[in-house]
Amino acid sequence: MSVAAVTIRINYPKMLTMLRADNPDMGDGHAATEAKLLRRFRQLITYCLGLRLSPHLLQSVIDSMDVEITLFKGSINWTQSRIILLFNGQIKGGGHTPEDLFPLEQVTLWALQIALMIGIRSNKPEEYLLHYCPLTRYETTSSGHSSYLDIPGEACTIVRVTARATGDSSNTDRTPFYPVGQSMAKGSSTGVVTGQEIINDPLAALLFKTLTSRTQGGL
């Protein structure tokens, strides 16, 4: 099975405040908060892939998604709160048995693209408009936003992207793609990807190209 995950920093107290106002019918417990964030990520995937995948494959992608919030002991703060988005448990629409509908390379690309959308900070309109944050900007259009200055300081940032093929004896390790400061977010300790890094970093440049070369959302 192909598994990919995006780990991001999230301002947990701010998230609870916003999500309580957003979906009061769902409650504000831990599981309810994860469900609300999952709903937002599924809306993003539907927007981005709705025109590219058949309905049953799109549903399979959506069903393979999950959100897990990791909280550290002690006081909750900006650097300790984590959210992990997973592509896991792929099952063909109407079926029950997990199967590899999408290769490791595909789910890895989706995870990297989502991470770029979360981490991007740029004053170039074509780059700024890619920004997506499940906490502060979960709309999938540019409505109500005019520049990168509209991205709040509480917006989520990147920690890492990992991918692995389970059950494959030749590839059993979880492969990290960019712990912040080593690869795509090279030189950045804040977990963001700047416009300059999109120019200079090969991975960031490639991902930006894949996101802007398609219609609709572009994954």
Confidence band of 218 (pLDDT split at 50, 70, 90): low
Average pLDDT over residues 25-48: 83
Write down the pLDDT at residue 161: 86
pLDDT at 187: 46
The pLDDT assigned to 51 comes to: 85
Domain boundaries, the chain: 2-212
Q: pLDDT at residue 77 above 80?
A: no
Q: Does residue 157 register a pLDDT over 70?
A: yes
- Across 43-52, 131-140, 189-198, 210-219, the highest mean pLDDT is recorded for 43-52
Q: What is the mean pLDDT of the chain?
A: 75
Nearest CA to 161 out of 112, 105, 203, 113 is that of 112
pLDDT score of 78 more than 80: no
List b or e across 65-84, with b for residues whose CB sees 16 or more CB atoms inside 10 angstroms.
bebebeeeeeeeeeeebbbb
pLDDT of 167 over the 80 cut? no
pLDDT of res. 94: 57
Instruction: Please tell me the least confidently modeled range out of 127-141, 169-183, 201-215.
Output: 169-183
Give tens-digit pLDDT for 58-71: 988 898 899 988 87
pLDDT at position 123 is 80
Share of the chain above pLDDT 70, in %: 66
Q: What is the C-alpha to C-alpha distance for residues 145 and 134, in angstroms, rounded to an integer?
A: 15
Residue 17 has pLDDT above 70, yes or no: yes
The mean pLDDT value for 75-89 works out to 68
Task: Output the CA torsion sign for 40, 103, 55, 112.
Answer: positive
